[in-house]
C-alpha cells in the first residue's frame, strides 16, 4: 500500500473497494461479516462518510481493512488524518444559581422552625398518652375498690322444682370462672348445664396462664392432653375417677360437678398430680379410707 501510494495516489475508499472486488466479495457479504451497515461501508468507499465522527469512521475503516487482510502496517495510512479535535462538551443543564446570604439564613430558619414544630407535636402526643394511661389506671382502681353490690333475690323469686337452662341467670349461661362463683352459683351452673349420661361427671378448668393439662377418665378415655392458653376455660365429662396432671398448677382452677377441688395437697414444684374423687379411687383400688 505504501509503495502504491508513492507511485499512484489512491483514496482510502477506492483502495478498499478495489481490495474487495479482487477478493470477489459483495458489499452486503462484507457488511454481515464485520457487523456493520452496508450503507456505512458504501459511504466509506465513495468517500461520503464525512458526516460520521472521525473516531468512529477510523474504527469502521480499521475493521473493514483487517477483514480484507490489508497488512497491519498499511492500515494507519488509510485512517483519516484530518483535524481530530472533538467539539467542546456543552452542558445541557443550567448551572444552579449561587445562594446569597439571605437565602442561607431563610433556609436555616426554616429548618429550626420545622424542628421546633415536630418536637412540640411529639411532646403533646406523649403527654396525652400518659394522661390517658393514668386515667385508665384510676378508673380500674376505683372499680376494684368499689365492687358492685350483690343483688339478693326475694323468696318469691326463688326457683323450686325442675330447673332448665332457659330460666338460668345470664352469668351462669356466659360461663363465669370457677374462682368467681360462690357455692350457690356453682350449684346453679351445675344443674343448668346439659344432662350427662348416667355415671358420668363434669370437670371444669379455668386457666389464668399457659398450663399443660392431661386428663383421663376411669374407662381410659383421654379427655385432654395439650397446652391450654392463659385466659381459657374448658369443660370435660367422663366416668370418674379422673387421673389428672396439671403443669403450672398455681394458674389452674379445677372443679367437679360445680364443687371446687383444692389442689394444694397434690401439688409439688407447681405440678399437680391426682386421681379425683379420692373416695372413688379408694373404692377402685379396693383400699379402706376409714
Convert the pLDDT of each residue in 250-265 to its tens digit: 999 999 888 899 998 8
Q: Residue 163: inside a domain, yes or no?
A: no
User: Which residues constitute the domain of residue 209?
Assistant: 176-285
Angle at 108 between CA 104 and CA 111, to 5 degrees: 145
Sign of CA dihedral 146, 147, 148, 153: negative
Q: Residue 20: inside a domain, yes or no?
A: yes
Instruction: Report the range of poorest mean pLDDT among 27-41, 61-75, 92-106, 220-234.
Output: 92-106
How high is the pLDDT of residue 45?
Answer: 87
Measured CA to CA in angstroms, residue 202 lies from 66, 69, 252 at distances of 100, 104, 16
CATH code of the domain covering residue 24: 1.10.260.40
Q: Residue 171: inside a domain, yes or no?
A: no
The edge-to-edge listing of strands for the beta sheet with 201-207 is 233-238, 201-207, 252-256, 259-261
Instruction: Report the range of poorest mean pLDDT among 37-46, 166-175, 213-222, 274-283.
Output: 166-175
Mean pLDDT of all residues in 209-225: 92
Q: Residue 222: inside a domain, yes or no?
A: yes
Q: Is 134 helix (H, G, I), strand (E, B) or coil?
A: helix
pLDDT at 288 over 60: no
Q: Residue 150: inside a domain, yes or no?
A: no
Q: How many domains is the chain partitioned into structurally?
A: 2
| Final residue of a structural domain among 15, 47, 78 | 78
pLDDT digits (tens, 9 = 90+) for 58-69: 888 889 888 988
C-alpha cell at 117: 414544630
Residue 150 φ/ψ, nearest 5 degrees: -75, 145
Mean pLDDT of all residues in 93-118: 81
| Final residue of a structural domain among 48, 78, 108 | 78
Q: For residue 27, what pLDDT band results from cuts at 50, 70 and 90?
A: confident
Element of type H or E holding 30 = helix 27-34
Mean pLDDT of all residues in 5-24: 77
How high is the pLDDT of residue 193?
Answer: 58
Mean pLDDT of all residues in 152-166: 42
Q: Residue 154: inside a domain, yes or no?
A: no
| Final residue of a structural domain among 25, 46, 78 | 78
* Residue given cell 462518510 in the structure block: 49
Mean pLDDT of the chain: 76
In angstroms, rounded to a whole number, what is the distance separating the alpha carbons of residues 96 and 98? 6
Q: Residue 279: inside a domain, yes or no?
A: yes
Element of type H or E holding 114 = helix 101-145
Element of type H or E holding 103 = helix 101-145
C-alpha cell at 174: 356466659
Q: For residue 289, what pLDDT band results from cuts at 50, 70 and 90?
A: very low
Which ranges constitute the DSSP H helices of 35-100?
Answer: 38-45, 54-67, 75-78
Q: Residue 103: inside a domain, yes or no?
A: no
Among 181, 162, 163, residue whose Cα is nearest residue 172: 181
Quote the percentage of the chain above a pLDDT of 70. 66
pLDDT at 174 over 50: no
Q: For residue 192, what pLDDT band results from cuts at 50, 70 and 90?
A: low
C-alpha cell at 103: 437565602
pLDDT digits (tens, 9 = 90+) for 37-89: 989 888 888 888 888 888 888 888 889 888 988 888 888 888 866 544 445 55
pLDDT at 278 over 90: no
In angstroms, rounded to a whole number, what is the distance separating the alpha carbons of residues 244 and 278? 12
Amino acid at each position: 500500500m505504501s509503495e502504491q501510494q508513492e507511485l499512484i495516489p489512491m483514496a482510502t475508499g477506492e483502495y478498499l473497494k478495489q481490495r474487495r472486488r479482487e477478493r470477489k466479495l459483495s458489499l452486503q457479504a462484507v457488511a454481515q461479516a464485520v457487523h456493520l451497515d452496508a450503507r456505512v461501508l458504501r459511504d466509506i468507499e465513495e468517500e461520503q462518510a464525512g458526516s460520521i465522527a472521525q473516531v468512529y469512521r477510523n474504527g469502521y475503516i480499521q475493521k473493514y481493512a483487517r477483514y480484507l487482510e490489508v497488512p497491519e502496517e498499511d492500515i494507519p495510512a488509510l485512517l483519516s488524518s484530518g483535524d481530530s479535535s472533538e467539539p467542546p462538551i456543552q452542558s445541557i443543564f443550567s448551572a444552579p444559581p449561587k445562594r446569597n446570604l439571605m437565602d442561607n439564613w431563610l433556609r436555616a430558619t426554616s429548618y429550626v422552625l420545622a424542628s421546633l414544630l415536630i418536637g412540640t407535636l411529639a411532646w403533646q402526643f406523649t403527654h396525652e398518652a400518659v394522661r390517658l394511661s393514668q386515667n385508665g389506671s384510676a378508673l380500674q382502681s376505683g372499680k376494684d375498690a368499689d365492687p358492685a353490690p350483690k343483688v339478693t333475690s326475694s323468696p318469691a323469686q326463688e326457683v323450686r322444682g325442675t330447673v332448665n337452662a332457659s330460666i338460668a341467670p345470664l352469668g351462669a349461661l356466659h360461663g363465669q370462672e370457677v374462682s368467681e362463683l360462690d357455692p350457690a352459683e356453682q350449684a346453679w351452673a351445675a344443674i343448668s348445664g346439659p344432662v350427662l349420661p348416667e355415671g358420668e361427671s363434669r370437670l371444669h378448668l379455668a386457666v389464668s396462664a399457659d398450663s399443660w393439662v392431661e386428663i383421663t377418665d376411669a374407662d381410659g378415655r383421654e379427655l385432654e392432653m395439650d397446652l391450654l392458653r392463659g385466659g381459657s376455660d374448658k369443660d370435660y365429662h367422663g366416668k370418674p375417677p379422673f387421673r389428672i396432671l396439671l403443669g403450672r398448677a398455681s394458674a389452674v382452677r379445677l372443679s367437679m360437678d360445680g364443687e371446687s377441688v383444692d389442689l394444694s395437697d397434690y401439688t409439688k414444684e407447681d405440678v399437680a398430680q391426682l386421681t379425683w374423687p379420692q373416695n372413688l379411687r379408694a373404692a377402685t383400688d379396693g383400699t379402706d379410707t376409714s
